[in-house]
Amino acid sequence: MENRLIECVGIGTDIHRLQSGGPLRLGGVEIPFDQGLLGHSDGDVVLHAVTDAILGAVGLPDIGERFPDSDARYRGADSGALLSEVVADVGSRGWAVVNVDVVVHAERPKLSAHKGAIRGRVAALLGLPADRVSIKAKTNEGLDAVGRGEAIGCTCVVGLCRSPDRK
Ligand code: MG
């Protein structure tokens, strides 16, 4: 991928409560765990944070406005499909994602064995080579809801450029 000048950045955060019973979906990847994330959609905090960061970068309404949890169409929704819709939308407006840097906040499960798969899936959803996607995982040192194992959160930043075909 040739280097492109980043013209705007966006930040996204999300947190979902853990409940007993899987599957746990993070970054579009199913991770073996005895708990999953509660949510109107599939509860994928990573894809929600990435989606919100992209929307924010280009000044579009946030993920909650775009895909309201009061709308039955999004019950159990595949967050990958929602992200793909947003990537296509910003693409039609002349924007392309350049890179994304993701931090997952989770006390459990250990994510080191899954970061590669998450990276590959997020890169595929964004149409990026894997080296433009970073997935980092941090515990919360036992503090707060994440540290008590009650929730998993995500923080991410994205960079976008003007699409080459729109220059
Ligand atoms: Mg969410």
Angle, vertex CA 150, rays to CA 146 and CA 151, nearest 5: 55
pLDDT tens readout for residues 10-20: 999 999 999 99
**Domains of the chain as residue ranges with CATH:** 8-166 (3.30.1330.50)
Ligand 1 center–CA 160 separation, angstroms? 22
pLDDT the model gives residue 166 = 58
pLDDT tens readout for residues 119-145: 999 999 999 999 999 999 999 999 999
- Please return the burial class of 94, using the count of CB atoms within 10 Å of its CB with bins 0-12, 13-18 and 19+: middle
Ligand 1 center–CA 49 separation, angstroms? 7
Ligand 1 center–CA 14 separation, angstroms? 5
Ligand 1 center–CA 130 separation, angstroms? 24
pLDDT tens readout for residues 30-78: 999 999 999 888 899 999 999 999 999 999 999 999 998 888 888 888 9
pLDDT the model gives residue 2 = 66
108 secondary structure, DSSP code: S
pTM (2 decimals)? 0.95
Ligand 1 center–CA 98 separation, angstroms? 23
Ligand 1 center–CA 28 separation, angstroms? 13
Ligand 1 center–CA 100 separation, angstroms? 18
- Is the confidence at residue 81, as pLDDT, over 80? yes
